Amino acid sequence: RGISYERIEGEAAFYGPKIDIKIEDAIGRIWQLGTIQLDWNLPERFELEYTGEDNQKHRPIMIHRALFGSIERFFGVLIEHYAGAFPLWLAPVQVAVLPITDRINDYAGSIADTLKSKGFRVELSSRSDKIGAKIRDAQLQKIPYMLILGDKEFEDGLVAVRDRRQGDLGAVSLEEFIAKIDEERTSRGR
């Protein structure tokens, strides 16, 4: 049919023609993540057959598809691609709630509960530690957003937002913050 193809000697594909889906990772390496290939071998070995429209026995041709290659390889490439800094929609923890003082722990807990009720993955850091240490830990974990809560935020009913990349974004209402990250999560942005 004049379709161009490339013959690659020594590959594990002994079935028949195949399509490889190759992805380049963040540091330029090429990984084969998916394949779709025809197989005349296994139907023969397993003596598979079907009755066709002509009422005769026929040997099927199998189509193998491996969308990710191995799931381990897929996740390895994904982690390397993002260098562990997943976008909000994919991050294991999406928001870290960080009270500055123990006096704010109840407020911080209610903020965390509200976010969880909206389907966000949240980590509350209510340990008695300096806020700098809490921020550093959240940054090392590559959590997309941190909510810094002190007396002022409690009194004003606000949350001070810190973005993993952009730093301090200022104080906003919880509803405004939820609307922002809900849109980001839904659109699969960043």
In this predicted model, what pLDDT tens digit does every residue of 102-126 receive, in sequence order? 999 999 999 999 999 999 999 999 8
Residue bearing the bigger pLDDT, 40 or 108: 108
Please tell me whether residue 98 adopts helix, strand or coil conformation. Answer: strand
Q: Measuring CA to CA, how many Å separate 181 from each of 1, 176, 189?
A: 50, 9, 10
Alpha-carbon gap, residue 115 to 117, rounded angstroms: 5
pLDDT of residue 11: 65
User: Strand, coil or helix: what is 97?
Assistant: strand
Q: In this prediction, what percent of the chain has a pLDDT beyond 70?
A: 95
- 20 pLDDT band (50/70/90 cuts)? confident
CA neighbours within 13 Å on the CB side: how many for 70? 3
What pLDDT is stored for residue 89 in this prediction? Answer: 94
- Cα separation, 37 vs 5, in Å, equals 13
Higher-confidence position of 13 and 168: 168
Map residue 183 onto helix, strand or coil: helix
pTM recorded for the entire structure: 0.70
Mean pLDDT of 25-40: 81
